[in-house]
Amino acid sequence: MASQAIRFSHKDFLKSLILDLGPILGDLGLWSLKCLQDVAKEKKDNDLKKRYAVCLEIVEKYLENGTDTLGDEKKYNFMNKFGPKKCPD
């Protein structure tokens, strides 16, 4: 998720959320992302740590509201600092 899903456009993200990302976006996914963020902190890899922070925020929003927040393209693009609008390459 940290290397690909946060780079998707909003339309592609919602499609992958429905098809692929559902199991990742549960409590187990949240826990594993926190563990990976801790590993990135230990390695002092700031970029990876920031990507995991964005992933954690997306998963937490999904667990709180389902697709209510993530379904709104403006809110999703504001939350996702690594999306195609902010990182077009």
In a domain, 85, yes or no: no
What value does the mean pLDDT of the chain take? 79
| Nearest of 40, 60, 65, 68 to residue 52 by alpha carbon | 40
Number of structural domains the chain divides into: 1
Between 54 and 19, the higher pLDDT residue: 54
| pLDDT tens per residue, range 42-83 | 999 998 898 888 888 888 888 888 777 778 888 877 777 777
The token pair at 53 is 């922070």
User: Is residue 88 pLDDT above 60, yes or no?
Assistant: no
Residues 84 and 9 sit within 8 Å (Cβ to Cβ): yes
In a domain, 34, yes or no: yes
Residues 47 and 55 sit within 8 Å (Cβ to Cβ): no
In a domain, 22, yes or no: yes
In a domain, 89, yes or no: no
Q: What is the pLDDT of residue 21?
A: 66
The pTM of this model reads 0.71
Query: Letter for the amino acid at 44?
Result: K
Considering Cα of 61, then 4, then 87, then 41, what sign does the dihedral take? Answer: positive
* Distance from C-alpha of 37 to C-alpha of 31, rounded to nearest angstrom: 10
In a domain, 87, yes or no: no
In a domain, 84, yes or no: no
Between 77 and 25, the higher pLDDT residue: 77
In a domain, 19, yes or no: yes
In a domain, 40, yes or no: yes
